[in-house]
Structure 1
Amino acid sequence: MDTDIEGPNSGVYKKNVQGKSPHKWVDITDIFQESVKDLNLGELLYDDMFGLLEAMSAIEMMDPKMDAGMLCNRGARKVTSFEQAVNDGLLPLTNLPQSTLLGIIDGTLARLVSWLEGHSLAQTVFTCLYLHRPYACQDHALRVFCLAVYKLLDVIKDLLHKAFVYEEEDFQPMQYGFLLKPDISEQRMIGMLREVEEELHRKSRNKPTDVECKKIGVETQAVFARIKFVRIFLQVLNTLRKEEQQQQQTSLTDCQRLIQNALEMLQIIKETVSLGDGSDGNEEMACFEPSINQRLLPPTFPRYTKIKKREEAIVHFTEMMERFKVVCKAQGITSFHQSLDIFSEFSQSGPCLVARCALQLAGRNAGASRDALREAIKSFSGPPALSGRAIPAARQHADTFLARAARPAALLLQLSGHNRARQRDKLAVLLDELAQLQDEAERADNNCASALNVLPKPYMATWALYHTLRAQSLYLLAGFELELYAEHEYYYIYWYLYECIYSWLISTLSKADSLLQENAVNQANTGKGRRSKPTKATRKPRPHAKDALRLQALQQLCGGYFKALLGLLREGLLQAPLPGFDRERVRFEHRFLAFSRLPAPPPAIYKQFRSAAQHEASHGSAELFLAAGRHFGQAGQLLAAGGGDVPLARAAKTNLVLLRVLATGHRPKDRPFFCFKDSKHFPVIKLTDS
């Protein structure tokens, strides 16, 4: 007779009455380790019964990082509520030592940072038992701090919701039944914090007479710095979330002074973080109960939450304040192209979610307004229909196009507010919007030309094409940053950038310069009342020359990578898939599927790529390496002429030296590897034996 009992992994197996199991259990640990020794970090062995979906869905039982249930009910520490902890004497409500107060504040701020990095409120901030009953705290400083935390959470949530550039992995808005809006206004909360500051300041002014009093004085100053930082942080966030543009510009001027004061307080906090209880990390304070809100979580596998260390939380706040300086400098910018460059550069620096949202609220609406787009197109290609002297019918057609372009322009600015991984997904959707915008631009050019009784020219279509090509290049380069491509795929990505994207971008900028020059000549002739030969006085400098120079350098870089990688593949120095498992055409079409709906530039097909690759490969590996070296040399010269990117110039020079060595016949023992340390998109090719 058999009976069911629980197994060691919460499973069920059959066991007979005599205590012998009918199953023969085999330890496969050594067999497993032997089987996976050939796999590198990040590689996955595929099987019909175990694919990517099963690997991502698997939970490693008994591992605290994967099986969060290991930490829920198996701790030696008993879960206690606020009332139980007070009755047991674990939570003092009055006459708290300064070291205890420092530990509570620092620990709560660390949990606030953990919440801002994507964890839930129930598992981070509200694990502090004092926050469950803030009005029960009789200590004045602690009670005001707890109320200020509630107000901070409310203000941060409001700011993030207004910007709306967060994803589920960035931010969890659920409150789990906690009310974040106590009946205290922001101004009253700031006033309460000032009262605590004044009280602590009076205490710190008393001259200490012995060592113990000196220590208490230092701790009092440390608490003062933290209360003042919380007050300034609340003021800064309250300023940044204002939607009224005029009021926002006035307030952001004072915001820089507040940010500087906050950085000074953070420096004091950093120097005194060791004074608080629990700063060594060996034992958590009694007021922090990790499992107190376990019953509030949804009935799924609880997410493992690792609380930030206090030192790391201070670094996070310091970086946030430095980002806020950039946000303040970006105020008042009404140029669409300038806003686009600032937003893109800011996103590449890896800011936190709060800083990204603050920049969105500070400049997104102004940068994508109709007036900003009108000036952007006028400065890019100079359409006559946008000039003040154009007839009303032409201006009406141009305004119709501006109204249509407002949505894609706003999406381009909003794009940089999302995290880097989500930006690539958003770009694929945005390309469909830009495809429709190209049709609208061509129609607007024809309508404006008909109203002005002139030959149609692609003024607005050139502008729409330029931003389409920029979005395409960002989409492809994001794949390198996110490590989506295998090394054997690099060469056709760089080929597409070299042959299609950058060549079209350079041609588009040249066309825009020509349209600007022609429009300037026509305006000069109209003013004179007769047509005349353009002179040096009527000719304007080419405003897009600097951008075109950088694009030429990037094009040469991509050409160098394409030919260098082709030579490495030809020599067998890059690991390629086995022919039976490889369908290069399928991979090629998959990588560029997002471009298939664009009217311009026409998507390149796989046959074009194979024809170009076979033509280059017919010259031999040595000639491929020499040709790639020439591309890198030209890229270095162009970057130097433009006074540009030092890391890119260094990568071009290093690759040039390596390719010259390979062209002489030197072959490394191991395959080369690609170092993306200096640039996320254009690596340095290195030899493992050098």
Structure 2
Amino acid sequence: MEALFKHQQCLAVFSRVKFTRVLLTVLIAFTKKETSAVAEAQKLMVQAADLLSAIHNSLHHGIQAQNDTTKGDHPIMMGFEPLVNQRLLPPTFPRYAKIIKREEMVNYFARLIDRIKTVCEVVNLTNLHCILDFFCEFSEQSPCVLSRSLLQTTFLVDNKKVFGTHLMQDMVKDALRSFVSPPVLSPKCCLYNNHQAKDCIDSFVTHCVRPFCSLIQIHGHNRARQRDKLGHILEEFATLQDEAEKVDAALHTMLLKQEPQRQHLACLGTWVLYHNLRIMIQYLLSGFELELYSMHEYYYIYWYLSEFLYAWLMSTLSRADGSQMAEERIMEEQQKGRSSKKTKKKKKVRPLSREITMSQAYQNMCAGMFKTMVAFDMDGKVRKPKFELDSEQVRYEHRFAPFNSVMTPPPVHYLQFKEMSDLNKYSPPPQSPELYVAASKHFQQAKMILENIPNPDHEVPPEFDFSAHKYFPVVKLV
């Protein structure tokens, strides 16, 4: 019996040592430049997850921590002093750090392993827009600083190449092709081999690298720091948009001379504007997440989103979709001229249709919230502060101050907002019951839009939930 007990203790120690070795090997793998290192890390993560169950089953072995109220929250362990490195810490305000219990430690490492597995999935993405979405979604989960750092080092190895293999310039060009299909990047266009046009687009793409790398790096910060940095990066994107419009104009002039049926107006500008709008929307929405707005401020935040930013975003996406379709028609006509065979037309799925639909849903949600907040204000359900040292105008201008650096879309100033949102311009002005009905229609419209979005994964089986009734389940189609 004693021999079995010693064997279990040895296994417990072995599992912990091996887990530490595997975890350190994973971290070392992420420092390598080759993409094969990520595959190696994935295999090691499976091993680490298997070892966690052995660690969990042996938590009762060894010396157990004693809780002493005189020592605060730190458990007393022989040979371990939690504050041993206090003098080595930087001279900042001391942060409260609590050593977690063993059971919580196992759960923490299980979540860390899942996050690192998620980080490894980014190498399967090839499009810059998909990578940006991945970073946004990963950041929304508020991951730990270690997993955020691993994602950053995986994306841009040594701040040079994406995943250690692709040039960022090539990623930008691919993103432009997939979003707006500019003629200058089409091999069938006369500008493709034009040296002057090539220099123009190459110079523009090179100038895109720094802002886009910075935008992705911003998502490596915590949520509060992200919002602060998003406000500052708008200045860089405003400069980039100005350059995009100039390059578009130059390329359009060149194109008209050789191919009058084509145009190059607002191709690059549309793409930069799209990212500008996304940053602005993300900046405002993160304010809700961080609980920065007071209730009496909600109505103008939702108004700005619904009437302005989402309206601009849908217009920009529709223009990009139209540009894609125009380029596709020209390509089809060129192919028809070369081959006499009739080809069957297949109904193509528009790549931007899903995002346009989602933007419509979000716009309706924001419009519904705006009308709801105005109705609440009419009914006296929103408590407004007694402004002494500031006013609503001061607060409004403070909330939207980062947008002043952007020329397109032009910022909506407070007096302009009050004029545009004034209900007295209607005859008769709507009352709160009418506003509640209008808001409910917006919410219903958003619901219908979201329900009609096709599910890309039809193989997911339905879920049967018997918690509400033991005989008749709630069936969920995900």
**How does the TM-score come out when normalised to structure 2?**
0.84
Counterpart of 1:622 in structure 2 is: 433
Counterpart of 1:409 in structure 2 is: 212
Q: Distance in 1 between matches of 2:394 and 2:54?
A: 58
What is the letter of the counterpart of residue 235 of structure 2? D
Query: Is 1:433 paired with 2:236?
Result: yes
State which drifts further: 352-361 or 615-624.
615-624
Query: Is 1:366 paired with 2:162?
Result: yes
Where 2:54 maps in the other structure, the secondary structure is: helix
Name the CA shift for 1:536/1:544 in 2 (closer, same or farther; >3 Å): farther
What is the letter of the counterpart of residue 558 of structure 1? C
Name the CA shift for 1:639/1:273 in 2 (closer, same or farther; >3 Å): same
Name the CA shift for 1:277/1:623 in 2 (closer, same or farther; >3 Å): same
Whether the aligned pair in 2 keeps the contact of 1:556 and 1:635 (CA below 8 Å) is: yes
Whether the aligned pair in 1 keeps the contact of 2:66 and 2:76 (CA below 8 Å) is: no
Query: Is 1:261 paired with 2:20?
Result: no
Where 1:372 maps in the other structure, the secondary structure is: helix
Q: 2:323 aligns with which of 496, 499, 515?
A: 515
What is the letter of the counterpart of residue 628 of structure 1? A
Q: 2:9 aligns with which of 208, 219, 233?
A: 219
What is the letter of the counterpart of residue 347 of structure 1? S
Counterpart of 2:193 in structure 1 is: 391
Counterpart of 1:349 in structure 2 is: 141
Whether the aligned pair in 1 keeps the contact of 2:182 and 2:264 (CA below 8 Å) is: no
- Residues 50-103 of structure 1 deviation map (CA, whole Å, 9 limit, x = unaligned): xxxxxxxxxxxxxxxxxxxxxxxxxxxxxxxxxxxxxxxxxxxxxxxxxxxxxx
Whether the aligned pair in 2 keeps the contact of 1:560 and 1:627 (CA below 8 Å) is: yes
What is the letter of the counterpart of residue 574 of structure 1? V
Q: Distance in 1 between matches of 2:87 and 2:141?
A: 39
State which drifts further: 566-575 or 274-283.
274-283
Q: Distance in 2 between matches of 1:340 and 1:301?
A: 34
Q: CA offset at residue 613 of structure 1?
A: 3.2
Q: CA offset at residue 441 of structure 1?
A: 0.6
Q: CA offset at residue 293 of structure 1?
A: 4.7
Q: 1:501 aligns with which of 301, 305, 309?
A: 309
Counterpart of 1:144 in structure 2 is: none
- Residues 537-593 of structure 1 deviation map (CA, whole Å, 9 limit, x = unaligned): 498543211110010000000000000011001111121112556611111111000
Name the CA shift for 1:636/1:294 in 2 (closer, same or farther; >3 Å): closer
Name the CA shift for 1:619/1:301 in 2 (closer, same or farther; >3 Å): closer
Query: Is 1:466 paired with 2:466?
Result: no
Q: Distance in 1 between matches of 2:125 and 2:284?
A: 29
What is the letter of the counterpart of residue 391 of structure 1? N
State which drifts further: 338-347 or 366-375.
366-375
Q: Which entry has the higher C-alpha Rg, 1 or 2? A: 1
Query: Is 1:487 paired with 2:295?
Result: yes
Q: Distance in 2 between matches of 1:546 and 1:536?
A: 25
- Residues 428-486 of structure 1 deviation map (CA, whole Å, 9 limit, x = unaligned): 11100110010111111112222223544111100000000000000000101111001
Q: 2:19 aligns with which of 204, 213, 229?
A: 229
What is the letter of the counterpart of residue 378 of structure 1? R
Counterpart of 1:567 in structure 2 is: 375
Structure 2 matches for 1:137-536, cutoff 5 A?
A: 210=1, 212-242=2-32, 244=33, 247=34, 249-279=35-65, 281-282=67-68, 284-293=76-85, 296=88, 302-364=94-156, 365-366=161-162, 369-389=168-188, 390-392=192-194, 393-452=196-255, 453=257, 454=260, 455-529=263-337
Where 1:274 maps in the other structure, the secondary structure is: coil
Q: CA offset at residue 305 of structure 1?
A: 3.4
Q: Distance in 2 between matches of 1:542 and 1:575?
A: 46
Where 2:422 maps in the other structure, the secondary structure is: helix
What is the letter of the counterpart of residue 254 of structure 1? E
Name the CA shift for 1:240/1:512 in 2 (closer, same or farther; >3 Å): same
Q: Distance in 2 between matches of 1:520 and 1:298?
A: 59
Q: CA offset at residue 609 of structure 1?
A: 2.1
Whether the aligned pair in 2 keeps the contact of 1:383 and 1:460 (CA below 8 Å) is: yes
Where 1:619 maps in the other structure, the secondary structure is: coil
Whether the aligned pair in 1 keeps the contact of 2:149 and 2:220 (CA below 8 Å) is: yes
- Residues 7-54 of structure 1 deviation map (CA, whole Å, 9 limit, x = unaligned): xxxxxxxxxxxxxxxxxxxxxxxxxxxxxxxxxxxxxxxxxxxxxxxx
Name the CA shift for 1:337/1:277 in 2 (closer, same or farther; >3 Å): same
Name the CA shift for 1:435/1:528 in 2 (closer, same or farther; >3 Å): same
Where 2:97 maps in the other structure, the secondary structure is: coil
Q: Distance in 1 between matches of 2:93 and 2:405?
A: 41
**How does the TM-score come out when normalised to structure 1?**
0.59
What is the letter of the counterpart of residue 448 of structure 2? Q
Q: CA offset at residue 213 of structure 1?
A: 2.5
Q: Distance in 2 between matches of 1:642 and 1:520?
A: 25
Where 2:162 maps in the other structure, the secondary structure is: helix
Which structure 1 segments of 5+ residues have no match? 1-209, 645-690
What is the letter of the counterpart of residue 606 of structure 1? Y
What is the letter of the counterpart of residue 48 of structure 2? A
Whether the aligned pair in 2 keeps the contact of 1:521 and 1:538 (CA below 8 Å) is: no
Q: CA offset at residue 526 of structure 1?
A: 3.2
Q: Distance in 2 between matches of 1:509 and 1:259?
A: 40
Q: CA offset at residue 295 of structure 1?
A: 5.0
Whether the aligned pair in 2 keeps the contact of 1:428 and 1:594 (CA below 8 Å) is: yes
Q: CA offset at residue 600 of structure 1?
A: 0.6
Q: CA RMSD in A?
A: 2.4
Whether the aligned pair in 1 keeps the contact of 2:204 and 2:244 (CA below 8 Å) is: yes
Name the CA shift for 1:293/1:548 in 2 (closer, same or farther; >3 Å): closer
Q: CA offset at residue 528 of structure 1?
A: 4.1
Q: CA offset at residue 289 of structure 1?
A: 2.5
Counterpart of 2:410 in structure 1 is: 602
Q: 1:631 aligns with which of 442, 459, 464?
A: 442
Q: Distance in 2 between matches of 1:414 and 1:597?
A: 21
Counterpart of 2:475 in structure 1 is: none
Q: CA offset at residue 276 of structure 1?
A: 2.7
Whether the aligned pair in 2 keeps the contact of 1:559 and 1:631 (CA below 8 Å) is: yes
* Percentage of identical aligned residues: 41
State which drifts further: 266-275 or 478-487.
266-275
Whether the aligned pair in 1 keeps the contact of 2:183 and 2:264 (CA below 8 Å) is: no
Where 2:184 maps in the other structure, the secondary structure is: helix
Q: Distance in 1 between matches of 2:148 and 2:126?
A: 18
Q: Distance in 2 between matches of 1:297 and 1:363?
A: 30
What is the letter of the counterpart of residue 451 of structure 1? M
What is the letter of the counterpart of residue 374 of structure 1? K
Q: Distance in 1 between matches of 2:91 and 2:312?
A: 53
Name the CA shift for 1:551/1:259 in 2 (closer, same or farther; >3 Å): same
Whether the aligned pair in 2 keeps the contact of 1:520 and 1:538 (CA below 8 Å) is: no
Q: Distance in 2 between matches of 1:536 and 1:291?
A: 74
- Residues 393-452 of structure 1 deviation map (CA, whole Å, 9 limit, x = unaligned): 222211111111111111121121111111001101110011001011111111222222
Q: Distance in 2 between matches of 1:220 and 1:335?
A: 49
Counterpart of 1:187 in structure 2 is: none
What is the letter of the counterpart of residue 213 of structure 1? A
Q: Distance in 1 between matches of 2:52 and 2:303?
A: 48
Whether the aligned pair in 2 keeps the contact of 1:502 and 1:555 (CA below 8 Å) is: yes
Q: Distance in 1 between matches of 2:318 and 2:113?
A: 41
